Homo-oligomer: A and B are copies of this chain.
Amino acid sequence: MLNKSEVFKALSSDSRWEILNALTDEPKDINEIADRVGLKAITVRHHLSSLTQTGLVEPLPERKGGVGRPTTVYRITGDNIRVSFPQRDYFLLNQIIVGGLLSILGSEATKEIHLRVAVKAGFDLLENTASENGLERWTLDSFRRLFVEGLLGEMGTKPEVVSQSEDELIFQERNCLFFELVKTNPELICNALDKGFHDGVVKALGPDFEGERLNCMGHGDPYCRYKILWNRPSGADST
């Protein structure tokens, strides 16, 4: 059980906040963390010791590369920490509504409603983004810059581009914003809400684009990964 004051104290340091964020995608050893956050290893060690004491982080031994002595890597522990002031509970509201819809309408109708809502949300988000940026049509480059690195980054899903060619973009997200709900309702949240959202996004990209989800955190993968294919019209500029 985490102590509220200690958690706040731990989070009140910008360096500790950066270290925690560096560990959200996967466990890392001290040198990897130091590289990521731009601090000296000895400073990282000091912060890790306080984060471990607070219970936010735990060390585990891991043999890297198969030779030499094991390195200690650090990972985030336990449950999601949610604090609000004044107190709010939007997670509770989501639980009540999802649980209620499933029980009253049944799983198929609930899934169908979530799918429609999400398609519209994804479509509208991209249309608004195009309009705000004066885009006449999407390309893989503008999609990468405005959606993947822009919107998803701002939302906090920790997006990364895995690969990009002239007609294909693969990107992934390391953080699921609704992960607790996903764990209890993967069919609804991943296969209706997330799927619908990305379907709506691809629909707004235009008829020359296709999308596919390759991996999903709600189904046990370490990230959600998506592939976007562009059947580039001949003569169109790739930028």
Residues of chain A touching chain B, judged by Cβ–Cβ distance below 8 Å, are: 4-6, 8-9, 11-14, 17, 20, 24, 56, 76, 80-94, 96-97, 99-101, 103-105, 113-114, 116-118, 120-121, 155-156, 175, 177-181, 193
Residues of B within 8 Å of A179, CB to CB, are 86, 88
A56 partner residues in chain B, CB cutoff 8 A: 85
Q: How far is the CB of A54 from chain B (nearest CB, A)?
A: 11
Taken together as a complex, chains A and B put the C-alpha atoms of A87 and B193 apart, in Å, by 18
> A117 near B104 (CB under 8 angstroms)?
yes
Given A81-B85, A85-B20: A120 touches B104 (CB 8 Å cut-off): yes
In contact, A83 and B86 (Cβ under 8 angstroms): no
Q: Is the interface of A mostly helix, strand, loop or mixed?
A: helix
A180's closest neighbor in chain B, by CB?
A: B88
Interface contact B13-A12, CB-CB below 8 Å:
no
- List of B residues within 8 angstroms of A155 by Cβ: 89, 92
From the candidates B24, B104, B116, name the one contacting A104 in the complex (CB within 8 A): B116
Q: Report whether A90 and B121 are in contact in the complex, using a CB–CB cutoff of 8 Å.
A: no
**Cβ–Cβ contact A114 & B92, under 8 A:** no
Closest approach, in angstroms, between the C-beta of A86 and any C-beta of chain B? 5
Task: Rank and list the top 4 A-B pairs by shortest CB-CB distance, nearest first.
Answer: A100-B117, A8-B12, A87-B156, A90-B90
Given contacts A12-B5, A14-B5, A104-B120, contact A84 B93 (CB under 8 A): no
CB distance from A118 to the nearest CB of B (A): 7
- Residues from chain B with a CB closer than 8 A to the CB of A90 are 90-91, 93-94, 177-178, 181
Inter-chain contacts of A5 with B (CB < 8 A): 12-14, 17
